[in-house]
């Protein structure tokens, strides 16, 4: 069986042999046209996210592991805010775009470009649901923070996070000289990107610190990229969690977790530390807050999942030591501005 994992909260990267980070340059608020009277976090958010400032970009990739080769799936997704949410009780709806015009940033060998948001599967009320590329995101300013809600067509909130701080880091010099946090985004894609180009003026990334509001339960599609199956997710087995564990003792040791109800589904949630294998073909190198490996029963099927409890820190996955098929969790996630994305170049063939 072909296995896959899409790193939808960020990107991936290798921590072995990485280029040492240059000193981080924290840029104060006001680098762009932000609204007056905002907190530093809100001003730095608008510094890139406002449509007039070019929008903010996320980068994600996944690997589909086949018998003869690995196919890399990648996405650069653009989010824009039409206006500031300041002073608006219900906030502002932002728009997302799978940046299919940015193919110059991606390798052409074994490459499938996808939209990482389309088909992102989650469980709510015991039902498997899917976030589509057109699902809007609402931004609201509460105090000095930013509340970010993914809102389904029904009005139901699929995901809710609170951004409590943002740091802007200038990108200067060659691509290969960028801070390690930035380079970690690209993981197995890094060899395809030209290390020599110099970043364009104004290039920067933004390091977000955020917490989950309400429990979140994300489902992995283990046989392919969920972005190509926007209304489906492939389970790892049928029957019960106990039956899956009995048939796969090397991959699922029930003593390392607890069976409980999460978002209306019967789930086993891991609570042990250290590396563990998954059915998606990846080995989780470090697990704990902000997210936990899980297996959940839904309609007679068992799905591989990740659980983010209410109040937990939201981070992103990057590739772990030794192999592209391990990942570790960072306690933050990154977003890029347009100048940073426009600086990417494919490695000369």
296 pLDDT above the threshold of 90 = yes
Q: Is the dihedral of CA 169, 170, 173, 174 positive or negative?
A: positive
Mean pLDDT of the region 282-293: 54
pLDDT (average), residues 114-119: 41
Residue 137, pLDDT above cutoff 50:
yes
pLDDT higher for 140 or 306? Answer: 140
Total structural domains within the chain = 1
**pLDDT exceeds cutoff 70 at 12:** no
Does a structural domain hold residue 259? no
Mean pLDDT score of the chain? 73
Q: What is the mean pLDDT of residues 125-154?
A: 85
In a domain, 283, yes or no: no
pLDDT bin (cut points 50, 70, 90) of residue 143 is very high
212 vs 223: CA distance, rounded Å: 28
Q: Is residue 237 part of a domain?
A: no
Q: Model confidence at 218, in pLDDT bands (50, 70, 90)? A: confident
Q: Between these two residues, 34 and 279, which has the higher pLDDT value?
A: 279
Q: Do the domain assignments include residue 193?
A: yes
Measured CA distances, 75 to 11, 60, 82, 105, 340 (Å): 9, 5, 22, 10, 15
CA–CA gap between residue 198 and residue 209 (Å, rounded):
28
Which H or E run includes 222? Answer: none
For 12, which DSSP code? B
Q: Give pLDDT tens digits for 232-241.
A: 688 899 999 9
**Structural domain contains residue 236:** no
Rg (CA), the chain: 20
Q: Which of 244, 333, 346 is nearest to 13 (CA)?
A: 333
Q: Which domain holds residue 102?
A: 3-212+313-342
Is residue 24 in a domain? yes
**pLDDT score recorded for residue 179:** 92
pLDDT given for residue 75 in this prediction:
66
**Is a pLDDT exceeding 60 seen at residue 8?**
no
Give the pLDDT confidence of 154-204 residue by residue, as tens digits: 888 888 999 999 999 999 999 888 998 888 887 666 666 778 889 999 999
| pLDDT score at 37 | 85
Residue with token string 């943002």: 166
Res. 70: pLDDT tops 60: no
pLDDT tens digits along 241-253:
999 999 999 888 8
What pLDDT digit, counting tens, does each position of 250-276 carry?
Answer: 888 899 899 999 999 999 998 866 666
Tens digit of each residue's pLDDT (9 = 90 or more) over 81-113: 899 999 888 888 877 665 443 333 443 333 333
Kindly report, residue by residue over 26-43, the tens digit of the pLDDT.
223 333 455 668 999 999
Domain assignment present for residue 33? The answer is yes
Name the band, by pLDDT with cuts 50, 70 and 90, for residue 210: very high
The answer to whether residue 206 sits within a structural domain is yes
């Amino acid at each position: 069986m072909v296995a896959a994992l899409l790193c939808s909260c960020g990107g991936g990267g290798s921590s072995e042999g990485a280029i040492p980070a240059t000193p981080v340059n924290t840029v104060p608020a006001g680098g762009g046209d932000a609204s007056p009277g905002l907190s530093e976090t809100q001003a730095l958010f608008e510094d890139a996210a406002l449509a007039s400032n070019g929008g903010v970009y996320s980068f994600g990739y996944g690997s589909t592991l086949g018998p003869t080769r690995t196919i890399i799936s990648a996405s650069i997704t653009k989010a824009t805010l039409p206006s500031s949410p300041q002073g608006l009780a219900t906030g502002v709806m932002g728009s997302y775009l799978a940046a299919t015009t940015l193919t110059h940033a991606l390798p052409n060998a074994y490459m499938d470009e996808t939209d990482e948001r389309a088909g992102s599967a989650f469980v709510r009320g015991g039902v498997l649901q899917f976030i589509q590329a057109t699902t809007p995101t609402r931004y609201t300013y509460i105090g000095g923070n930013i509340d970010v809600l993914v809102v389904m067509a029904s009005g139901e909130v699929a995901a809710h996070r609170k951004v409590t701080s943002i740091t802007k880091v200038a990108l200067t010099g060659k691509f290969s000289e960028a801070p390690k946090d930035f380079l970690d985004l690209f993981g197995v894609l890094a060899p395809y990107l030209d290390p020599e180009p110099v970043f364009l003026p104004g290039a920067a990334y933004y390091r977000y610190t955020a917490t989950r509001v309400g429990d979140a339960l994300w489902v992995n599609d283990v046989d392919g990229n969920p972005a190509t199956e926007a209304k489906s997710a492939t389970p790892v087995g049928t029957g019960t969690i106990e039956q899956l564990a009995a048939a796969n003792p090397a991959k699922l040791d029930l003593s390392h977790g607890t069976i409980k109800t999460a978002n209306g589904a019967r789930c086993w949630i891991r609570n042990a530390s250290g590396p563990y294998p998954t059915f998606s073909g990846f080995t989780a190198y470090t697990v704990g807050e902000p997210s936990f490996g899980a297996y959940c029963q839904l309609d007679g099927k068992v799905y591989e999942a990740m659980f983010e409890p209410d109040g937990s820190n939201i981070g992103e996955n990057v590739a772990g030591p030794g192999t592209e098929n391990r990942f570790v969790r960072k306690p933050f996630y990154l977003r890029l501005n347009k100048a940073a994305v426009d600086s990417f170049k494919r490695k000369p063939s």
